[in-house]
Amino acid sequence: MDSPDIGISCHGGIKLGEIVTCDGFVKGFKYRVQTHVHSDHMDGFYASKGEQDIIMSEATRDLLALDHCDIPFRNSKNGGNIIALPTNGIHYDNNSVIELKPNNHMLGAVQVAVTTPEGKTVGYSSDFSWPLDEVISVDSLVVDSTYGSPESIRRYSQEHANECFCEMIVEKSREGPVIIYANRSTLFRALGLLDGLVPYPIIVSKRKIVEAKVYQKYGRSICPLEILESPETRKIRKNSSYVELYYINEQLLHDPGKCTVIKLTAFGLNNEPYQEVNSSVYNVGISDHADYYQTLEYIQETGAKEVLTDPIHGTHAIPLAAAIKNKLGIVAKVAEVITSMEWGV
């Protein structure tokens, strides 16, 4: 095992102390903390529902309830095993303390810090954006490695990328339809930026409109939306310019004809906030992840004395561990992925 207090199972369960796992099921651990709803962090969730108490933010609970109809009936206050806390929430278990802090990755997403009965503090960043208003303070840390490579340095601000996106939408929507592709959380960031931006309809699937209502419940700005599947929307497409949003790899439900396609991704966009692939296809660097230097800054802010880089949820664990040792002088290594009967895998 990597450390007496932290480790990672082969299915991505992050071990924090002796009673807490994050984003994965590990047999025998009392609690699972669900840091956010992205699918790569949901492994073993059904097993956890059967055997663990699951701690999450209130917003994460509401987003999960869209796909898990039993979530509203599992409230711990009514004898269930879902413990929903504010994103700055704390749960006490005898001599252990489990603390959540927002990490700005998506609605409801959190960092996790656990104080063990021995008084040691261990934590997990999960996926995170930067800067953050508050950072967990821990002795030992498991950190996301999505942008853990020296090649993943963005030399532009997120504000600049947002401005480029807005200017592009205004300009291109005058010329005809605009199709936007983004991952789940970035898509809803885009819906906030689009609020009041153009006089044309903003079109999404019915499911995304339902999810948008959860974002609005928690104070997020979302532009007025039209339902992709409705007959009225078909008429809109024939008579007006419009902006239509899809998840990356989601299939278009119609042929928009001549249109502009904008993909929201920071991968490969190190020097400029956008890239013109051709005259009608663009990449724009709107991201919900910290880059390489921002990741190092986050680690330093936690005060951690030992760090494990996560090879399950990110692809740059090796160079990140080297940078933590060489640039920050902190003991660090790539987490050894644990497969054992003790871990229930």
Say if residue 256's pLDDT is above 90: no
What average pLDDT score do residues 331-338 get?
Answer: 90
Say if residue 314's pLDDT is above 90: no
Q: What kind of architecture, by CATH, is found in domain 6-151+289-343?
A: 4-Layer Sandwich (3.60)
Residue of higher predicted confidence among 249 and 58: 58
- The full set of domain ranges for the chain reads 6-151+289-343, 158-284
pLDDT in tens, 111-158: 999 999 999 999 999 999 999 999 999 999 999 999 999 999 999 999
**Residue among 83, 39, 41, 37 nearest 63 (CA):** 37
- Three-state SS string across 119-185, please? CCEEEECCCCCCCCCCCCCCCEEEECCCCCCCCCCCCCCHHHHHHHHHHHHHHHHCCCCEEEEECHH
What average pLDDT score do residues 303-312 get?
Answer: 96
Say if residue 342's pLDDT is above 60: no
What average pLDDT score do residues 17-25 get?
Answer: 96
CA 340 to chain centre: 28
Mean pLDDT, the chain, rounded, equals 94
Share of the chain above pLDDT 90, in %: 86
**Residue among 195, 194, 197, 192 nearest 220 (CA):** 192
What is the 8-class DSSP label of residue 250? Answer: P
Question: What is the model's pTM?
Answer: 0.93
Task: Give pLDDT, residue 2.
Answer: 47
Task: Report how far residue 27's alpha carbon sits from residue 51's, in angstroms, rounded to the nearest whole number.
Answer: 8
Helix (H), strand (E) at residue 114: strand 110-115
Report helix, strand or coil for 60.
helix
Task: Give pLDDT, residue 3.
Answer: 66
Task: Give pLDDT, residue 1.
Answer: 36
Share of the chain above pLDDT 70, in %: 97
Q: What kind of architecture, by CATH, is found in domain 158-284?
A: 3-Layer(aba) Sandwich (3.40)
Say if residue 340's pLDDT is above 70: no
Say if residue 345's pLDDT is above 80: no
Task: Give pLDDT, residue 253.
Answer: 80
In this structure, what are the phi and psi dihedrals at residue 167, rounded to the nearest 5 degrees? -65, -40
